[in-house]
Amino acid sequence: MSLLIVGSTALDSIKTPNAENPRLLGGSASHAAVAASFFTPVNLVGIVGEDFPKKYVALYRKHGINLDGLQNVPGKTFHWSGEYEVNMNNRRTLATELGVFETFNPTLPEAYRRTPYVLLANIAPSLQHHVLDQMKKPKFVVADTMDLWLNIALQDLLKLLKRVDAFVLNDSEARQLTDQDNVMVALKQIHKMGPKYVIVKKGEHGAILSGPNGIFVAPAFPLEKVMDPTGAGDSFVGGMIGYIASQKGTVDSKIRRAMVHGSVVASFCCEGFGLQQTTRVTSAKIAQRVKTLEKLVRF
Ligand code: AMP
């Protein structure tokens, strides 16, 4: 079944200790949409400016992503730049230029409004609300976020948590949101804020789910070389919800496998700059890595 994804559609300039790559295709929605496209049809909602390269539009299309909800308007595309330290975990934001995002008002095409699965990828919570307001009886809604919104839009985010089925955030954000160092205690507190499923991402250490069937720990796929982890979190959540949308059965019966598929797509994302590696992957390669990961954790 199809999946609607709203989030940032960006140009990313990324610096690592070994390389520097300007103006790559990035943004939470781009990473999530490409990741999800391996499993299910995706309806993208976003905004780009006149400087958005045609080759990136072609890349979305190559992945079969529906672009009826991608606005192309006068002005500059959202531009984010960041720099990684030698350990490739610590990242510093160098610049965030909102450009056309400043006036973004995501009005959904009529045909999008009945999409059964919804991913509110990282973007201002007010925009996540606005998209949700236009949806007609979605089956399952997942929201992602970032520390910025905990700092400047906490009330909007807390209201959003009452409207979503699942909430995904990273460990430092969970700590910030709950004032709790212990992730198990933090998970409990976040459930009280609304979501039935809470997933805390822990980077190279995988992700932990708390839901009606208890706790599940999904490993990250162990990599010897990380080129650029930008978008790994978005790829994880995109792959996960894409897998859920593609399979029959209840969410509970498939969410664990879905997290493992998300982990695998995220691992490919880390092996190239921006979306370079993710866009070269095939479903067969994903399936192979899922099998390898399964063997690694079976005991
Ligand atoms: P991640 O590495 O999963 O945290 O996601 C990185 C992506 O987030 C990059 O592709 C950026 O374009 C995007 N991003 C950075 N800052 C923001 C922001 N303020 N709002 C929305 N997306 C952002």
Q: Which amino acid is at 93?
A: T
What tokens were used for 119? 């991913």
What tokens were used for 127? 């925009």
Which pLDDT score, from 0 to 100, does residue 89 have?
85
By most ligand atoms within 8 Å of CB, the mutation choice from 15, 146, 240 for ligand 1 is: 146
Which residues contact residue 30 at a Cβ distance below 8 angstroms, ignoring those fewer than 6 apart? 7, 8, 9, 10, 46, 60, 231, 234, 275
By most ligand atoms within 8 Å of CB, the mutation choice from 5, 8, 170 for ligand 1 is: 8
The residue whose CA has the least distance to atom 11 of ligand 1 is 27
Q: How far apart are CA 5 and CA 65, in angstroms?
A: 10
Q: How far apart are CA 61 and CA 254, in angstroms?
A: 28
What CATH number is given to the structural domain containing 110? Answer: 3.40.1190.20
Is residue 233 lining ligand 1, measured as CB closer than 6 Å?
A: yes
- In terms of pTM, does the model score above 0.95? yes
Per the structure, how many domains does the chain have? 1
Query: 284-292 long-range contacts, Cβ below 8 Å, gap at least 24?
Result: 286/38, 286/261, 289/221, 289/264, 290/260, 290/261, 290/264, 292/221
What tokens were used for 63? 């992945």
Q: What is the DSSP string of the chain?
A: --EEEES--EEEEEE-SS-EEEEEEE-HHHHHHHHHHTTS-EEEEEEE-TTS-HHHHHHHHHTT-EEEEEEE-SSPPEEEEEEE-TTSS-EEEEEEE-GGGGG---PPPGGGTT-SEEEE-SS-HHHHHHHHHH-SS-SEEEEE--HHHHHH-HHHHHHHHTT-SEEEEEHHHHHHHHT-S-HHHHHHHHHHTS-SEEEEE-GGG-EEEEETTEEEEEPPPP-S--S--TTHHHHHHHHHHHHHHHS-S-HHHHHHHHHHHHHHHHHHHHTSSTTTTGGG--HHHHHHHHHHHHHHH--
What tokens were used for 5? 């994804």
Q: How far apart are CA 270 and CA 220, in angstroms?
A: 11
Contact by Cβ (8 Å): 27, 10: yes
Q: What is the DSSP string of 94-114?
A: EEEE-GGGGG---PPPGGGTT
Q: How far apart are CA 181 and CA 100, in angstroms?
A: 37
Is residue 178 lining ligand 1, measured as CB closer than 6 Å?
A: no
The residue whose CA has the least distance to atom 1 of ligand 1 is 231
Contact by Cβ (8 Å): 31, 234: yes
pLDDT tens series, the chain, 299 aa: 999 999 999 999 999 998 999 999 999 999 999 999 999 999 999 999 999 999 999 999 999 999 999 999 999 999 999 999 998 889 999 999 999 999 999 999 999 999 999 999 999 999 999 999 999 999 999 999 999 999 999 999 999 999 999 999 999 999 999 999 999 999 999 999 999 999 999 999 999 999 999 999 999 999 999 999 999 999 999 999 999 999 999 999 999 999 999 999 999 999 999 999 999 999 999 999 999 999 999 99
Give the Å distance between the CA of 277 and the centre of ligand 1: 18
Task: Tell me the residue range of the domain where 7 lies.
Answer: 3-297
